[in-house]
Amino acid sequence: MMWRRSGWIACACAWGLVAGCAQTPPRGDGSPLDLNGLYAQLDRASAEYDQALQQARRGDDAQSQKTLQAALDAMRSASDACVNTDGCDTQRFLSAYDRALRLKDGSFLGTEDDQQALDTEDQGTVGAESSVSTTLPEAQRTVQLLHDHKLSDLVATNGAVQAALQVWLTRMRPNLIRAYVDYQYLRFQMEPAFHEAGLPEAILFGLIAKESGGNVHAVSRSGAAGPLQFMPATGSRFGLNTINGFDQRFDPTMAAQATAAYFNEQMARLNDNLALVLAAYNGGEGRMGRLVAGASDANFWDPGIYFSMSDETRDYVPMVLAAAWLFLHPDRYNLHFPKVDGVPGHVELANAASLNELSVCLGNDANAHYGWYRTLRNLNPQVDPSQVQPPGTRVNLPRFLQNAYKQSCTNGKWVVLADQLQNAQLPTALAKAKADPPPSGRTRHYTVRKGDTLYAIARRFDCDDVRDLVRGNRLHSAGDLQVGKRLQLVGCKR
């Protein structure tokens, strides 16, 4: 995704790519606030913050949140002003704001005093469903992976992450919500791999939102495929191959396992720095390894590294981090993810049917504004959606749809409609054109050149299915190409 970068790049350079772009707020006479005024503003905000904690401990959640938000806003305003005021101790402001933000969100690393405050809240004085108690484990793991570039710091002060938040909350909001819905149905297949590897689920969601938008069968122009968009060679290195015509990059469980393995491999190489690993995931581990070679304190946001990356990677890292942050704290951004019942289930077909037919007869309701086609395809990645499956075939779907299947897809008018549409015939001219062999009447060939991918070749020659090329040329996978290899253009029209 491309979005305007000139504003945040200019101000980021002014302060090591971690300061915001705010201007110093004027006093009533139009002149900048002096240092004493800024420090007094910070002291007042800190006092309000302490007052908010006391209100929370007394059980006054509504007033506590109101006071807390006002304190955080005041702290941030003072922090932004300090950055632009000569002689101001920026660390004093950022430390105060960061401590408040981390306590509010439960995303801190945990000093002794901070932990005592959280323990007091978790004992029930602010309610069993406190945002602190529910978000702490996940947010804490995320922060630990970021080390000295804590996620709360980045969100509060980094122009690139702030810009990414705006992108997700404006033109990409529908994409983010759709990705969240799709992920909830896939979660039981994908999250365990990250959990077992000690990786934060929030980052898994951020990757899915940015890479595929929750579409298991997504394929990029460069040939990356699946919910986590593995290139053929990298996928094969982590056990994702084409077996019996099925590209395992489309398998959600296997893709998550491969991603977790990749991340842990790169964590070991890149000093456990998550931002660098994300950059390697997008821009290539070889290039990233060369950029940080021998530097134990390497940082993605350092100008020497940051500006050595492609525009795509400079967009990619903050977009993933921003999506992860929104996954953890949607309410803070007036973002409301729908409630999704992702408990897995399945049915055994009572009658022969395709996934297309099931999508028609299941329809849509408040739980599926988009219908169930993508969900059925995501949960059954090896099934051709137009291919009729025999009775008794197991079809995975959300558990709550099992009754809907019995009511709407075993008999009745929706079954008749689905069957009618399934058996619809193409217009004669189109059907003939689809069935006709290439005009030459013989199989044509293509010699692989440097930079070719099987997906690009299939698009260029209008081939029906990449898998036909794999099988017809006895390749092991879509990535099994060598420069100079002569391919038969099986199922291709050009």
pLDDT at 20: 35
In the block, residue with structure tokens 């992450």? 161
Q: What share of the chain has pLDDT > 70, as a percent?
A: 73
Q: Which of 125-129, 309-313, 402-406 has the lowest mean pLDDT?
A: 125-129
39 found inside a domain: yes
Spacing of C-alpha 206 from chain mean position = 2
Residue type, 239: G
pLDDT digits (tens, 9 = 90+) for 83-137: 677 777 766 665 665 556 545 443 322 233 333 333 333 333 223 332 322 333 3
Q: How many helices (H) and strands (E) does the chain have?
A: 23, 6
371 and 260 assigned to the same domain:
no
178 and 257 assigned to the same domain:
yes
36 and 80 assigned to the same domain:
yes
Question: How many angstroms separate the CA atoms of 484 and 78, rounded?
Answer: 63
201 and 314 assigned to the same domain:
yes
377 found inside a domain: yes
121 found inside a domain: no
172 found inside a domain: yes
* pLDDT range class, residue 206, cuts 50, 70, 90: very high
Q: Which of 85-89, 157-161, 350-354 has the lowest mean pLDDT?
A: 85-89
232 and 101 assigned to the same domain:
no
Residues 6+ apart with CB under 8 A from 59: 125, 126, 127
124 found inside a domain: no
131 found inside a domain: no
Parent domain of 372: 344-422
Q: What is the largest CA-CA distance in the chain?
A: 86
The residue out of 333, 354, 384 marking a domain boundary is 333
Q: What is the dihedral of CA 404, 409, 411, 412, to 10 degrees?
A: 80
442 and 387 assigned to the same domain:
no
3-class DSSP state of 216? coil
The residue out of 105, 137, 157 marking a domain boundary is 105
In the block, residue with structure tokens 């790519």? 17
The residue out of 298, 333, 368 marking a domain boundary is 333
Question: How many angstroms separate the CA atoms of 60 and 125, rounded?
Answer: 9
Residues 6+ apart with CB under 8 A from 364: 370, 371, 372
Q: Which tokens is 12 given?
A: 């980021």
